[in-house]
Amino acid sequence: MPRLPPSLIWKAHSISPLAATLLPVCRNIASALAELRWIREHVQSTSRSPSGSQADDVRLRRLCRERGKGVPLQYVLGTQPFGDLEIKCRPGVLIPRPEPEAYTTHLSRLLVSGHFIPRHQPLRVLDFCTGTGCIALLLYSSLCSSSPRLAVTGVDISPLAVSLSKANLKHNVALGLVPSPSPSQSVTFRQSDIFSPHWSSPVSAGGHCDVIISNPPYISPRGFATDCSRSVRNYEPKLAQVPRPRPDSGVAQEDVFYARLLDIGAAVKPRVMLFEVGGMEQAVRVVAMVGRKLGTEEWEVEVWRDWPDARPAEEEGTTVLVDGVGEVLVRGSGHGRSVLVYRM
Amino acid sequence: MFAAPWVCRSCSRLAARPLRSSQLLRRASTAPISNAVLLPPALLQRAQKLAAEHASLQKSLATDFDSKTAKRAGELGSVAAALKDYQDAKASLSELDALLSSPDAELRDLARDDVPPTTAQLRSAARRLSAALTPKHPFAEMPCLIEFRPGPGGLESRFFTDSLFRMYQAYCARKGYRCKVVKYETSDASGGASGYAGESPLQEAVLEIEDPGSYDVFRGEAGIHRVQRVPSTEKSGRTHTSAAALWVLPSLAETGAGAEQEADFSDPESDFYVDVAEVKSEVMRARGAGGQHVNKTESAIRLTHVPTGISVSMQDHRSQHRNREAAWKVLRSRLAQKRREEREEMARSLRSSVLAKNQVTRGDKIRTYNYQQDRCTDHRSGVDVHNLPDVLAGGEMFDRVIESVREYLVQNEIEAVIADEQLASEQAEGKGKK
Q: Provide the ipTM.
A: 0.89
B259 contact A CB<8A: no
Lowest mean pLDDT among B124-133, B192-201, B205-214: B192-201
pLDDT given at position A154: 94
Is the CB of B291 less than 8 angstroms away from the CB of A276?
yes
How many other CB atoms sit within 10 Å of the CB of residue A283? 27
A75 contact B CB<8A: no
* Chain A residues closer than 8 Å to B258 by CB: none
- Higher-confidence position of B6 and A130: A130
Q: Distance, in angstroms, between B89 CA and closest chain A CA?
A: 54
B289 contact A CB<8A: yes
Q: Which residue of A has its CA nearest to B275?
A: A311
Distance CA(A119)–CA(A267), nearest Å, equals: 24
A80 contact B CB<8A: yes
pLDDT given at position B433: 57
Is the CB of B319 less than 8 angstroms away from the CB of A98?
yes
- When CB atoms are compared, the residue of A31, A105, A228 closest to B321 is A105
* Chain A residues closer than 8 Å to B280 by CB: 311
Say if CB B125 and CB B313 are below 8 A apart.
no
B258 contact A CB<8A: no
Give the number of beta-carbon pairs within 8 Å between A and B: 102
Residue B30 has pLDDT above 90, yes or no: no
pLDDT, mean of residues B298-322: 87
Phi, psi for residue A152 in degrees, rounded to 5: -115, 130
Is the CB of B299 less than 8 angstroms away from the CB of A98?
yes
Is the CB of B293 less than 8 angstroms away from the CB of A334?
no
- Higher-confidence position of A87 and B11: A87
pLDDT given at position A42: 92
- When CB atoms are compared, the residue of A35, A101, A218 closest to B297 is A35
CB under 8 Å to A297, separation ≥6 — which residues? none
Angle at which helices B105-133 and B396-433 pack, to 10 degrees? 100
Residue B169 has pLDDT above 80, yes or no: yes
pLDDT given at position B20: 54
- When CB atoms are compared, the residue of A215, A232, A307 closest to B294 is A232
- When CB atoms are compared, the residue of A15, A215, A232 closest to B293 is A232
* Chain B residues closer than 8 Å to A83 by CB: 319, 321
pLDDT tens sequence across B198-242: 788 888 999 999 888 888 889 888 889 999 988 887 778 888 888
Is the CB of A95 less than 8 angstroms away from the CB of B290?
no
What tens-digit pLDDT sequence spans chain A (344 residues)?
788 999 999 988 888 889 999 999 888 888 898 899 899 989 988 888 776 678 888 999 999 999 999 999 999 999 999 999 999 999 999 999 999 999 999 999 999 988 888 888 889 999 999 999 999 999 999 999 888 999 999 999 999 999 999 999 999 999 999 999 999 999 999 999 999 887 776 665 556 789 999 999 999 999 999 988 888 999 999 999 999 998 888 899 999 999 999 999 988 889 999 999 999 999 999 999 999 999 888 899 999 999 898 888 888 888 999 988 889 999 988 899 999 999 97
- End-to-end Cα distance, chain B: 79
Distance CA(B118)–CA(B100), nearest Å, equals: 14
pLDDT given at position A342: 94
Is the CB of A335 less than 8 angstroms away from the CB of B289?
yes
Q: Which residue of B has its CA nearest to A220?
A: B293
Taking a contact as any Cβ pair under 8 Å apart, which residues of chain B between 22 and 81 contact chain A? none
pLDDT tens sequence across B388-417: 999 999 888 898 999 888 888 877 777 777
pLDDT given at position A163: 96
- When CB atoms are compared, the residue of B192, B289, B315 closest to A34 is B315
- Higher-confidence position of A19 and B19: A19
* Chain B residues closer than 8 Å to A94 by CB: 292
Is the CB of A218 less than 8 angstroms away from the CB of B292?
yes
Q: Half-sphere exposure (CA, 13 Å, Cβ side) for B355?
A: 20
pLDDT, mean of residues B144-148: 91
Q: Which residue of A has its CA nearest to B278?
A: A311
- Higher-confidence position of A172 and B316: A172
Is the CB of A30 less than 8 angstroms away from the CB of B188?
yes
Taking a contact as any Cβ pair under 8 Å apart, which residues of chain A between 150 and 209 contact chain B? none
pLDDT given at position B286: 60
Buried b (16+ CB within 10 A) or exposed e, B359-384: ebeeeeebbbbbbeeebbbbebbebe
B13 contact A CB<8A: no
Residue B285 has pLDDT above 80, yes or no: no
Three-class DSSP category at A321: strand
Query: Reduced to 3 DSSP states, what percent helix, strand and coil does chain A have, rounded to the nearest 5?
Result: 45, 20, 40
A35 contact B CB<8A: yes
**pTM for this entry:** 0.76
Q: Distance, in angstroms, between B316 CA and closest chain A CA?
A: 8
pLDDT tens sequence across B51-69: 888 888 888 888 777 777 7
pLDDT given at position B381: 85
pLDDT given at position B421: 74
A144 contact B CB<8A: no
Q: Distance, in angstroms, between B266 CA and closest chain A CA?
A: 14
Q: Per-residue confidence at B429, pLDDT binned at 50, 70, 90?
A: confident
Say if CB A338 and CB A304 are below 8 A apart.
yes
Q: Per-residue confidence at B17, pLDDT binned at 50, 70, 90?
A: low
Say if CB A305 and CB B285 are below 8 A apart.
no
Q: Per-residue confidence at B263, pLDDT binned at 50, 70, 90?
A: very low
- The secondary structure of A282-308 as a DSSP string is HHHHHHHHHHHHT-TTT-EEEEEEEET
pLDDT given at position B352: 53
* Burial class for A317, CB neighbours closer than 10 Å (0-12, 13-18, 19+): exposed
